[in-house]
Amino acid sequence: MLAHVRIGVSACLLGQKVRHDGDHRRSEFVADLLANQVECTPVCPEVEVGMGVPRPSVELVRSGTSLRLVESERRIDHTRSMQSWARRRSLELRQLGLSGYVFKRGSPSCGVWNVPVHQKVGRVRKQGRGMFAARLMETLPLLPVEQEDRLEDERLRAAFVERVFAYARLRQLFRGRWSRGSVAVFHAAHAHQLAVHSQRGALELAQLVGRFDRMSRTRFRSEYERRVMQLLERPIRRTQDTAAMRRITRRLGEIRSEGEVRVLRRAVEAYAAGDTPRREAMTVLRRLARDVAHQEFLDSTYVFPDPRELALG
């Protein structure tokens, strides 16, 4: 059981009045839902670096191959102080054990994608990354990150939440005394979850686990972590999802009566045909799996995700 999940959040999304104009940008999903299920560590780079509230607004400016963080009106350059703070703060956050991060879109400090960058000739290109976001993502390259605007999309939200909890479990696995056995248990619990993202990728990961004894522990760990997180970035396809449901249905068919399994089979095929939403098939599948109470189903992160993950998905 996963005890503790902590994520970093741009402080203004939690309703803190830290923006340059003294306002906030409270996000309902972040402040009301996410903060109820996981521990949120608020960070406002511009306040923490000492720019105060209110403060002059800043923007990213292209200078050769690098970006500068410059005040829009007075053109005061904050690049050096922001970079050295961001380096320190990213290391602190790594120590704190984050499992994800939600950034504010468009910010020259916090934005992840398409942040406006002012060019010398007066043009603006939406192609930058906020200075703090860039540093944190460099320090923690596997950390699941999202922008608050993208979390409005249900599919992206569910994918982010899934990655956060998987990353938290991976960190928990490798934090303790891990062994070939504990990796095998972890991998078995995640087998269906990984396969719905890519069966081929899941097979390659299983082969990696099989080579455990032929690699150094350091190399195994970094390969395994990287490949699990990359696999989870691939979108779930309905065909892979229903293939996993059918595999589980077949296993349940070996244990339960034909009548009980027939109900599940119908629910899975209705979802496969696009006639019913996924949750209907999963509800029937979980009910039957819970009745069976076999460890292979109870431990499966696909059949029974963390309750907090379910509440957020």
**Site residues (vs ligand SF4, CB under 6 A):** 10-12, 18-19, 44-46, 104, 107, 109-110
Q: Rounded to whole angstroms, how far apart are CA atoms 142 and 101?
A: 11
CB-wise, 107 or 300, nearer to ligand SF4? 107
Q: Rounded to whole angstroms, how far apart are CA atoms 208 and 191?
A: 13
Q: Who's near 204: CB < 8 A, 6+ residues apart?
A: 227
CB-wise, 46 or 306, nearer to ligand SF4? 46
Q: Rounded to whole angstroms, how far apart are CA atoms 90 and 308?
A: 26
CB-wise, 104 or 118, nearer to ligand SF4? 104
CB-wise, 45 or 100, nearer to ligand SF4? 45
**Cβ at position 253, least distance to ligand SF4 in Å:** 52
**Cβ at position 27, least distance to ligand SF4 in Å:** 11
- Are the CB atoms for 144 and 160 separated by under 8 Å? yes
Strands 101-103 and 66-71: unpaired
**Cβ at position 279, least distance to ligand SF4 in Å:** 34
**Cβ at position 230, least distance to ligand SF4 in Å:** 27
**Cβ at position 118, least distance to ligand SF4 in Å:** 17
- Any idea which residue has 């996981």 for tokens? 38
CB-wise, 44 or 164, nearer to ligand SF4? 44
**Cβ at position 107, least distance to ligand SF4 in Å:** 4
Q: Rounded to whole angstroms, how far apart are CA atoms 140 and 110?
A: 15
CB-wise, 46 or 162, nearer to ligand SF4? 46
Q: Who's near 130: CB < 8 A, 6+ residues apart?
A: 45, 60, 103, 107, 108, 109, 110, 111, 112, 115
